[in-house]
A and B are shown apart, each in its own frame.
Chain A
Amino acid sequence: MSKKIYITGIGALTAIGNNVSENFISLKEKKSGIGKITQLDTIHKDEIPVAEVKLTDDELLKELDLKKEGAYTRISLLGIKAAKEAIKDAKISDINEYRTGIISATTGAGMVASEKYYHDFLNTDFANDFIKTHEAADHTEKIADYLGITEFMTTISTACSSSANAMMLGARLIKNGILDRVIVGGADAHSKFTLNGFNTLMILDRKPCKPFDNDRKGLNLGEGAAYLVLESEELVKKEGKTPHAILSGYANANDAYHQTASSPEGYGGSLAMQQALDNSNLKIEDIDYINVHGTGTANNDLSEGRAMITIFGNNIPKFSSTKAYTGHTLAAAGSVEAIYSILSLQNKMIFPTLRFETPMEEFNLIPETDLIENIDIKHIMSNSFGFGGNGTVIILSKS
């Protein structure tokens, strides 16, 4: 049984970059990706800002050398691009040389296409190819087919904690001896369905979001995809690879408070943080930085802040929310932020929370507001919380 789970490859695209190095540059230069809706045909396009990936579907198809007839939804295209980058980064040439799996996460599934063609689906006699893409598994299958993975596949949908859960499952599959390596992550793309859904919940800020600020008005939806290659200790030794980081701890706990809201005291969140610490055999003082969930909603940031106080007391580590850059990429958020955490570990940097001004009146928690450089970081905690009380916390450590 593998003791350590190594991260050997990373790939990501978000509103602040089409690959990991572009994301890194934007993070350093404090460039936010939040702006006007340009790609979605919605009545809200002048009113609600989002964070869009700056590539159209046609550009993605061309870059990936895929044919339009293949019925690729935007989620699949984003997913394939990021997963391909991760595989290349991990220097994997023969995908089936070892027992290799793929675990992908999504919340929107095929909705981007389904909402576009729904009347067509219903009212025409012919079969539209996008009928097949409605189910969540479609994007995982498209990635698996592109990369040639057949050994193991699954798809997770646990709202905004989805890709953090993909990482946790991947690690457990390796530790249980079922797989040698696994590509884990998530993808989500803007859809009218999600935009309107969040809008009815009245948690969308009409301006770029302000996580952990007293005057925060809600979140901005983001889109993107991010994947990591996890490998067993044995395989990393055998192949002589230099890993990016270690996935040293993880935990999944449920708030069991409300379908869409977190409990005021953040009970589920604090459970997940404590269990992740226990799982990694680390103490609170070992955590150098927390990449918080920090969506910018009144409810999340208060509840997450209180959960942090429950666990860390007066010694809260440095923390920040990178959602001020990327928006909330939903199912991709956990893996996007895991990759940002790896960039922090490797480059000795902490990326700031943009636009923070006023501490919340309920407590004195102040996120980092400027880029910190040359800081020694060994262990990072990354939080992901979602609808249905889902809470997952992972810990990434220097390898």
Chain B
Amino acid sequence: MKAYINGTASLSPQNSLDYNEFLKGIVEYEDDFLKSIKPNFKDYIKPIEARRMSKTVKNGIICSEIAMLEAEINMPDAIIVGTGLGILSDTEKFLEKMLNDNEQYLTPTSFIQSTHNTVAAQIALRIKCHNYNFTYVNRGFSFETALQDGMMHLNEGKKNVLIGGADEMSEHYFHIVRKNGRWKKIAIKNTELLNYKTEGAICGEGVNFFVLSSEKKKNTYAELKSLKTFYKPKNDKEINKKLLSFLENNNINITDIDLVITGQSGDKKGDAIYDNILNNNFIEKPVAYFKHLTGDYQTSSSFAFWLGANILKSQKVPDFIMQNNKKVKKVKNILIYNHYFNINNSFMLLSVI
């Protein structure tokens, strides 16, 4: 079974939606958390339809349509979305109104939109897709299980699967979670992310969609060779062991990896885990990172996946994503290693076609 990435689309805090040019430059921020750049919704969705849709539903619809356009399909065999938080804004809207008005004067709109599966459902509704429809909500595994499910569908004989990762951050939830030490206490410059070396990550959001297909097309970006998730590893030694068996299971050597993309997030403790794996295995290799572009969120690995696919297709590696100064030549194989606060770890292996 082969899994080709035939369409991609990304809405992020960067200019990633411009599919004519792959990441022209970095959008700089000095902020508490990074917010997705608002697209011109009217270009994609009629205002009357968009009226009741929250930001992430609209972003999901836009990205899914672009990804399908690129893959030259209009009806996927499955729609699978990963989201850590679902539609947070509508959840908060209903919750706050309920608490503030003592369960009175409530209307259903924000409750309906708050359901975790709204993005996948609204895409199906829009294109009248009666096929398999699934939503994963497992923190930093949400996007990975969506991909894994997609690969199983191709293995079972399906041709085209639409897969997305979608998360939004709200002011309230950001401040609540910051109390837990998860996010940095001060506004940060995203271009300086790795220089802080303090507790807490940079927070962000984004929506990324892909079409995974069993057949290659002229627009194909890359091949997804394999992925592996693992939960709460005991120590770095265990991660190292998982990495080596992942590579071995895919008949690939460390020397074959041309670029490593890690989920360095600025969090001192979390980043030490990446450093350890890099120092042990990839000391001579070019290493890139991406959370200074997007911030960290449950499905941020979907942006790394977008980045990897676009690098393999364009053979361009933007200099502002490089973490070291090793020269990248031809990129054939990319390893993405991401973890979400060391709870959810994943490896993804992408190859040039």
Query: What 1/0 mask marks residues of chain A from 173 to 197 whose CB sits below 8 Å from any chain B CB?
Result: 1001010000000000000110011
Pick the contact of A389: B94, B133, B152 (CB < 8 A).
Answer: B133
Say whether A3 faces chain B, with CB atoms less than 8 Å apart: no
Smallest CB gap from B119: residue in A: A388
Contacts across chains A and B counted by CB atoms under 8 Å: 186
Pick the contact of A44: B103, B122, B134, B229 (CB < 8 A).
Answer: B103
Query: What 1/0 mask marks residues of chain B from 83 to 108 whose CB sits below 8 Å from any chain A CB?
Result: 01110000000111011001110111
On whether the beta carbons of B116 and A256 are closer than 8 Å, the reply is no
On whether the beta carbons of B111 and A127 are closer than 8 Å, the reply is no
On whether the beta carbons of B116 and A107 are closer than 8 Å, the reply is yes
Smallest CB gap from A140: residue in B: B138
- List, sorted by A's number, 7 A–B pairs whose CB atoms are closer than 8 Å: A135-B139, A153-B138, A155-B137, A156-B134, A196-B103, A388-B115, A388-B121
On whether the beta carbons of A127 and B181 are closer than 8 Å, the reply is yes
Say whether B112 faces chain A, with CB atoms less than 8 Å apart: yes
**Chain B interface: which of A20-28, A112-120, A293-301, A316-324?**
A112-120
Query: What 1/0 mask marks residues of chain B from 173 to 201 whose CB sits below 8 Å from any chain A CB?
Result: 10111011100000000000000000000
Which residues in A have their C-beta under 8 angstroms from that of B104?
Answer: 43
On whether the beta carbons of A388 and B139 are closer than 8 Å, the reply is no
Which residues in B have their C-beta under 8 angstroms from that of A122?
Answer: 172, 175-176
Pick the contact of B121: A125, A126, A176, A387 (CB < 8 A).
Answer: A387
Say whether A136 faces chain B, with CB atoms less than 8 Å apart: yes
Shortest CB distance B114–A (Å)? 8
Which residues in A have their C-beta under 8 angstroms from that of B125?
Answer: 256-259, 389
**Chain B interface: which of A29-37, A82-90, A247-255, A364-372?**
A247-255
Shortest CB distance B142–A (Å)? 8
On whether the beta carbons of A137 and B137 are closer than 8 Å, the reply is yes
Pick the contact of B130: A106, A156, A165, A254 (CB < 8 A).
Answer: A254
Which residues in B have their C-beta under 8 angstroms from that of A260?
Answer: 108, 112
Pick the contact of B176: A131, A254, A267, A387 (CB < 8 A).
Answer: A131
> Given known contacts A127-B180, A157-B116, A259-B118, is B136 in contact with A254 (CB within 8 Å)?
no
Within residues 131 to 161 of chain A, which ones have a CB less than 8 A from any CB in chain B? 131-132, 134-137, 140-141, 144-145, 149-159
Q: Chain B residues in contact with chain A, CB under 8 A?
A: 79, 84-86, 94-96, 98-99, 102-104, 106-108, 111-118, 120-122, 124-125, 127-139, 141-142, 145, 148-149, 152, 155-156, 172-173, 175-177, 179-181, 229-232, 298, 343
Complex-state Cα separation, A158 to B33, whole angstroms: 29
Shortest CB distance B23–A (Å)? 30
> Given known contacts A137-B137, A137-B138, is B132 in contact with A107 (CB within 8 Å)?
no
> Given known contacts A135-B137, A158-B133, A260-B112, is B95 in contact with A114 (CB within 8 Å)?
yes
Which residues in A have their C-beta under 8 angstroms from that of B107?
Answer: 200
Say whether A109 faces chain B, with CB atoms less than 8 Å apart: yes
Shortest CB distance B82–A (Å)? 9
On whether the beta carbons of B130 and A131 are closer than 8 Å, the reply is no
Pick the contact of A121: B115, B138, B156, B176 (CB < 8 A).
Answer: B176
Shortest CB distance A138–B (Å)? 8
Complex-state Cα separation, A390 to B122, whole angstroms: 11
Say whether A352 faces chain B, with CB atoms less than 8 Å apart: no
On whether the beta carbons of A125 and B179 are closer than 8 Å, the reply is yes
Complex-state Cα separation, A154 to B176, whole angstroms: 25
15 A-B pairs besides A43-B103, A111-B95, A253-B132 with CB distance below 8 A are: A43-B102, A118-B95, A135-B84, A135-B298, A136-B138, A151-B231, A156-B134, A157-B117, A157-B136, A158-B120, A158-B135, A169-B149, A256-B128, A256-B129, A388-B115
Complex-state Cα separation, A43 to B99, whole angstroms: 11
> Given known contacts A122-B176, A158-B134, A259-B112, is B155 in contact with A176 (CB within 8 Å)?
yes
Q: Chain A residues in contact with chain B, CB under 8 A?
A: 42-44, 106-107, 109, 111, 114-115, 118-119, 121-122, 125-128, 131-132, 134-137, 140-141, 144-145, 149-159, 165, 169, 172-173, 176, 178, 192-193, 196-197, 199-201, 252-260, 267-268, 271, 386-390
Shortest CB distance A69–B (Å)? 15
On whether the beta carbons of A254 and B129 are closer than 8 Å, the reply is yes
Which residues in A have their C-beta under 8 angstroms from that of B114?
Answer: 197
Pick the contact of A271: B130, B155, B173, B298 (CB < 8 A).
Answer: B130
Shortest CB distance A312–B (Å)? 20
Smallest CB gap from B1: residue in A: A176
Pick the contact of B343: A42, A141, A196, A252 (CB < 8 A).
Answer: A141
Which residues in B have their C-beta under 8 angstroms from that of A119?
Answer: 99
Which residues in A have their C-beta under 8 angstroms from that of B145?
Answer: 154
Sort A-B residue pairs by CB-CB distance and give the 7 closest, nearest first.
A388-B121, A197-B111, A157-B116, A136-B137, A200-B108, A137-B139, A155-B138
Pick the contact of B136: A106, A114, A154 (CB < 8 A).
Answer: A154
Which residues in A have their C-beta under 8 angstroms from that of B152?
Answer: 172-173, 176, 178
Pick the contact of B137: A126, A145, A157 (CB < 8 A).
Answer: A157
> Given known contacts A131-B179, A153-B231, A197-B108, is B115 in contact with A256 (CB within 8 Å)?
no
